[in-house]
Amino acid sequence: MRSVLVIDDHPLYAYALTTALTQVFEGCKVETATTLKDGLKAAGTGAGPDLVMLDLRLPDVSGLSGLIRLRERLPETPVLIISAQTSADVVQSLMDMGAAGFVPKDLPLPEIEAALSEVQQGRRYLPVEYQNAFRRRAAPPTDLENISRKIAELSPQQMRIMKLICAGKANKQIAYELSLAEATVKAHVTALLRRLGVQNRTQAAVMMESVSLEDETGETLRARG
């Protein structure tokens, strides 16, 4: 591994990952980003880094859309998911969608280093508790995957507007907060409703709510915005 991109909005955790990466991969260049937008910019348009480590809960990400967009931009680059404990169903969806593995944020440093070594050797990594629950699914994609794909198709501006819609903002308020003309906001709303395949703002907000991730205890892990 010559280069790794860490996309995580927690500076201390990103620092810990950088330390682990430099211990496992001597001479490795580590770049960090705190949003998916900045991560995609850092990845560039060429071959990109040798590995991306992606936090599921970023300010500009909902559901699994971050993984989808990274896989589209960097189809040959392994993407290792880093996140707080989440359900086995979500982890299974991540693996079905091509993630290189899943690393819970409370995983001890030696096990993070072991995970990195596994991925370097072309294998996929899951902690033991997820290995026991994981079973490759032959069924069609879940609603989480399908909706996440629709969300991934939204432009960055549409995503910002969608989050404000979910916060209960009217078009006039959204126009003020984003320094846009109200007519421009209306055009964006019409386009994003069409992309999501819904008829109104309420349905769109319910769809976004449906891809909020839950941990093992059932506590909702909402994307921050």
We report the CATH number of the domain holding residue 198 as 1.10.10.10
Q: Are 70 and 116 in the same domain? A: yes
Across all residues in the chain, what is the average pLDDT? 82
Q: Are 78 and 179 in the same domain? A: no
How far apart are the C-alpha atoms of 77 and 48, rounded to whole Å?
Answer: 8
Q: Last residue of a domain, which of 106, 133, 160?
A: 133
* pLDDT higher than threshold 80 for residue 45: no
Residue 11 belongs to a domain = yes
pLDDT above 70: percentage of residues in the chain: 87
Q: What is the CATH number of the domain that holds 39?
A: 3.40.50.2300
Please compute the mean of the pLDDT values over residues 90-95 and round it to a whole number.
Answer: 85
For 74, the 3-state DSSP assignment is: coil
Q: Last residue of a domain, which of 98, 133, 168?
A: 133
Q: Are strands 220-221 and 213-214 parallel, antiparallel or unpaired?
A: antiparallel
Give tens-digit pLDDT for 123-143: 889 888 777 666 554 445 567
The domain containing residue 30 runs over which residues? 3-133
pLDDT confidence of residue 139: 47
Confidence of residue 224 (pLDDT cuts 50, 70, 90): very low
Q: Are 117 and 211 in the same domain? A: no
Whether 158 and 195 have beta carbons less than 8 Å apart is answered as: yes
Residue 209 CB: number of other CB atoms within 10 A?
A: 12
Q: Are 14 and 108 in the same domain? A: yes
Q: Last residue of a domain, which of 89, 109, 133?
A: 133
Please compute the mean of the pLDDT values over residues 3-32 and round it to a whole number.
Answer: 87
Q: Are 147 and 129 in the same domain? A: no
